[in-house]
Structure 1
Amino acid sequence: MTDAWDRMTPERQRGLIRVAAAEFASAGYQGASLNAIIRRCGLSKSSFYYVVPGKRELYDLVIRELSADLAGRIRIPRPEDLAGPAFWPELEALFDRLLAAAAEDEGSTALGRMIYGPGPGPGEAAGTTWTGIEGWIGEVLRVGRESGEVRDDLPPALQRRLVFAVLRAMDEWSLTEADPGSTELGTVARAQYDAIRRLLRNESEKSGTSP
């Protein structure tokens, strides 16, 4: 699939990803129609299957492409770049970039709906994406704890799982329950960030008191 995909023009690639993402996001993996995707892209079936062997491969391709595009646009910092006083300002800046990306690009919303919905099964790209996100969160928390910016009264593994679960619940709610056109969405998103900060911030370090 890689060689055939690489030979497609960038315009064709973007068109296929956009159409497929919208179909998967609205209908789910099981309900998504390859025939509808092929028709909307203006491809013949032979041309489509020359590039993508099947539905599972297309689903994984869409997630990989959208994830790479999002990561490139929002500039995810390396955990070590958050060391010291830069920890919370850098995380807040990342949060703002994520919020802006979601507002300006339907692909980001489609990606979220895909990875929260039921996928094709074991080994899917969404699972790999979640594993990578949880690993990054764990490293960020380690840096924050070592810098004194994050509380360290919980075992690291428990703290990582707790933060991952809370962030995932917030993100899923924003994508599936909130009204995308609501002017209050930004306010709610900011409140979500503040809640995470209160959950993690090492207040004893900031106040100069002992735990």
Structure 2
Amino acid sequence: MPAREVGVLPPERRRLLLQTALAEFADVGYEGASLNRIIGARHMSKSSFYHYFASKEALFEAVVTDIGGAFVAELAPPGDDELAEGDFWGHIMRLAERLAELSSGDPGFMRLAKLFYLPDVPRNPGSPLAKAAARIDDWIDRALTIGRAGGAVGDDLPIELQRRLLRAVLWAMDEWSVANASNLDHDEIRRLSTAQFEAIRRLLAPGITPLR
């Protein structure tokens, strides 16, 4: 069952609290995260915190839901109609470019991505990370189906195998990028994004020559 919030924190105080919590979770993990450090940084008492959040799990869910939702809105992944309009790989390339910009320009984005790979976070069915991962996989499935229908994605392999390959490649690349983010500058992140795009394109598109 999703963690329950018990009150409504004013928007700006909520935003600052969630940003502080995101940094704490990303830096020391879910189990190591200290509510005392989080609320102390925001000059909030425990009684005040528990008026708004029932538990650390509820706070973590709010971090993933609120901050994750804001980043998705900023990223603006192409919808089904856009992908089907005839510029499939152009849309995917621009999405990769936006991801690179967010990754290099906003530390919060990489902190949020890091949460997906922490070993101790709640990830049971219905947890915020499980739901977020399911939404990502659903978008991948729809994009793959649309790409195949429009001829931008090859149909030489069964679609279920393509799904597995694509998910494995995307999540592996993302995990490596998150783990090495502190050692990458803006230009390196952009080059890595281009390399990732080309790898996916070579994997899926029929008769593709790598971009120069």
TM-score exceeds 0.5: yes
Does the CA contact (< 8 Å) of 1:84 and 1:144 recur in 2? no
Q: Which amino acid aligns with 2:178?
A: L
Q: Does 1:177 align with 2:180?
A: yes
Matched with 1:149 is 152
Matched with 2:57 is 56
Aligned length: 203
Question: Aligned-pair distance for 1:84?
Answer: 4.5
Question: Aligned-pair distance for 1:177?
Answer: 2.3
RCO (CA 8 Å, sep 6+): is it higher in 1 or 2? 2
Cα distance in structure 2, aligned partners of 1:156 and 1:114: 29
- CA-to-aligned-CA distance 1:91-149 (integer Å, 9 cap, x gap): 11111111111222222111101112121241321111111111110110000000000
Does the CA contact (< 8 Å) of 1:150 and 1:200 recur in 2? yes
Does the CA contact (< 8 Å) of 1:25 and 1:111 recur in 2? yes
Matched with 1:21 is 22
Does the CA contact (< 8 Å) of 1:80 and 1:143 recur in 2? no
5 Å-filtered alignment, 1:19-98, equals 19-98=20-99
Matched with 1:191 is 195
5 Å-filtered alignment, 1:112-131, equals 112-118=113-119, 119-123=121-125, 124-131=127-134
- CA-to-aligned-CA distance 1:145-175 (integer Å, 9 cap, x gap): 0000001111112211211111111011011
The alignment partner of 1:154 has SS state of coil
Cα distance in structure 1, aligned partners of 2:143 and 2:123: 29
Give the helix-richer structure, 1 or 2: 1
Does the CA contact (< 8 Å) of 1:101 and 1:108 recur in 2? yes
C-alpha root-mean-square deviation of aligned residues, in Å?
A: 1.8
Q: Which amino acid aligns with 2:166?
A: V
- Percent sequence identity is 38
Q: Which amino acid aligns with 1:190?
A: T
Matched with 1:209 is none
Q: Structure 2: any 5+ residue segments left out of the alignment?
A: none
45 and 25 in structure 1: CA distance in 2 versus 1, 3 angstrom threshold: same
Question: Aligned-pair distance for 1:184?
Answer: 2.2
Q: Which amino acid aligns with 2:30?
A: Y
Q: Which amino acid aligns with 1:203?
A: G
Matched with 2:206 is 202
Cα distance in structure 2, aligned partners of 1:10 and 1:100: 26
The alignment partner of 1:30 has SS state of coil
Question: Aligned-pair distance for 1:186?
Answer: 2.0
Cα distance in structure 2, aligned partners of 1:187 and 1:121: 32
